[in-house]
């Protein structure tokens, strides 16, 4: 019995050592992977900062975006440097988002706190221009005419009332074409519906049977425009000047006389 008990104890010891080895191996693998990830992050950050130093903000922008897309841990100062890069590229709304995130994460103790506050101050003027501009969206990207309604705000679309069928069910007979009545003998009689002439359907009152309607453009929600990927300079194009209601012959004549 003692020999058997000793063997069991030895087996337990061997199993415990094996489990410990597996656990340590997993820990070392995790640490090694973490070091690899941090190394990649560090290389990207150094590359982005070097690009900023030589005023190559497009390259810095690409590196920062790759870093974000990678899912790797982000250094605390990355949002600040990215915000400065975006400011130089004229992406003021996005710059404001990232510098605000930096201040939120680091507070007063952030290494670049003063720089972040200065950047927020510089952003006030361009953000105010974006807010006041009618030619761009809230992010500062210029509007382009809607490709569906071509800026007219309305377009020909499938009739929403009849679902483009051109007909609707008769409400009087419940789309059956027959009216049920009970006569004086308490018997049920069926008569042809006078409203739909026994057809059970009527011409759509909204589209007159055409299946189409002119209504608010669903693509642009009736605004006549969509956002583009072009940053706005907050100035009207020649085309916009020509179609402006203030640019009439009378207005031009008065401006000339002045």
103/73 Cα distance (integer angstroms): 18
**pLDDT score of 10:** 61
How big is the chain, counted in residues? 258
Q: Which CATH number fits domain 161-216: 2.10.230, 2.60.40, 1.10.540, 1.10.10?
A: 2.10.230
Mean pLDDT of 230-239: 82
**Direct distance between the N- and C-terminal alpha carbons of the chain, in angstroms, rounded to an integer:** 119
On whether the CB atoms of residues 168 and 161 are closer than 8 A, the answer is yes
On whether the CB atoms of residues 188 and 142 are closer than 8 A, the answer is no
80/177 Cα distance (integer angstroms): 72
Task: List all residues 6 or more positions away from 5 whose beta carbon is below 8 Å from its beta carbon.
Answer: none
**pLDDT score of 47:** 94
**pLDDT score of 36:** 43
Mean pLDDT of 92-118: 94
pLDDT in tens, 128-166: 999 999 889 989 999 988 888 888 888 888 888 898 899
On whether the CB atoms of residues 48 and 64 are closer than 8 A, the answer is yes
Q: Which residues pair with 182 in a beta bridge?
A: 188
pLDDT at 85 over 80: yes
The neighbour count for residue 131, using CB atoms within 10 Å, is 11
Q: Which residue ranges does the chain devote to CATH 2.10.230? A: 161-216
Q: Which residue ranges does the chain devote to CATH 1.25.40.10? A: 2-140
**pTM for the whole structure:** 0.59
User: Which has more confidence, 238 or 92?
Assistant: 92
**pLDDT score of 46:** 94
Task: List all residues 6 or more positions away from 210 whose beta carbon is below 8 Å from its beta carbon.
Answer: 159, 166
Mean pLDDT of 225-237: 87
* Tokens read off for 49: 């900062």
User: Which has more confidence, 153 or 103?
Assistant: 103
Which candidate, 87, 89, 152, places its Cα nearest to that of 125? 87
237/134 Cα distance (integer angstroms): 12
- E strands, the chain, are 141-145, 154-158, 167-169, 178-182, 188-192, 201-203, 212-216, 225-231
pLDDT in tens, 2-46: 555 555 666 566 555 555 455 545 544 443 334 445 578 899 999
pLDDT at 201 over 50: yes
- Of 82-91, 114-123, 234-243, the one with minimum mean pLDDT is 234-243
3-state secondary structure of 92: helix
Which candidate, 121, 63, 113, 112, places its Cα nearest to that of 87? 121
* CA–CA–CA angle 117, 74, 101 (5° rounding): 30
**pLDDT score of 247:** 41
The neighbour count for residue 85, using CB atoms within 10 Å, is 25
Ordered alpha helix ranges (H), 54-139: 57-70, 78-88, 92-106, 113-132
Q: Which residues pair with 141 in a beta bridge?
A: 231
CA 208 from centroid of its chain's CA atoms:
38
- CATH class for domain 2-140? mainly alpha
Confidence of residue 216 (pLDDT cuts 50, 70, 90): confident
């Amino acid at each position: 019995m003692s020999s058997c008990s000793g063997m069991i104890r030895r087996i337990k010891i061997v199993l415990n050592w094996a489990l410990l080895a597996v656990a340590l191996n997993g820990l070392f693998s995790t640490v090694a992977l973490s070091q690899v990830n941090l190394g990649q992050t560090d290389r990207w950050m150094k590359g982005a900062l070097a690009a900023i130093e030589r005023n190559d903000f497009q390259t810095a922008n690409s590196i920062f975006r790759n870093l974000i897309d990678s899912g790797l841990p982000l250094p605390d100062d990355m949002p600040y440097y990215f915000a400065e890069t975006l400011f130089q590229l004229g992406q003021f709304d996005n710059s404001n988002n990232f510098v605000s995130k930096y201040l939120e994460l680091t507070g007063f103790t952030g290494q670049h706190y003063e720089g972040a506050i200065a950047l927020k101050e510089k952003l006030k003027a361009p953000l105010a221009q974006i807010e006041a501009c009618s030619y761009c969206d809230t992010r500062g990207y210029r509007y382009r005419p809607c490709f569906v309604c071509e800026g007219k705000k309305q377009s020909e679309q499938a009739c929403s009332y009849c679902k483009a069928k051109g007909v609707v069910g008769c409400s009087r007979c419940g789309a059956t074409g027959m009216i049920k009545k009970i006569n004086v003998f308490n018997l049920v009689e069926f008569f042809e519906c006078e409203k739909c002439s026994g057809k059970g359907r009527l011409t759509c009152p909204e589209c007159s049977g055409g299946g189409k309607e002119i209504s608010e453009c669903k693509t642009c929600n009736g605004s006549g425009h969509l956002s583009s990927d072009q940053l706005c300079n907050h100035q009207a194009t020649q085309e916009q000047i020509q179609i402006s209601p203030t640019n009439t012959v009378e207005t031009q004549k008065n401006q000339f006389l002045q």
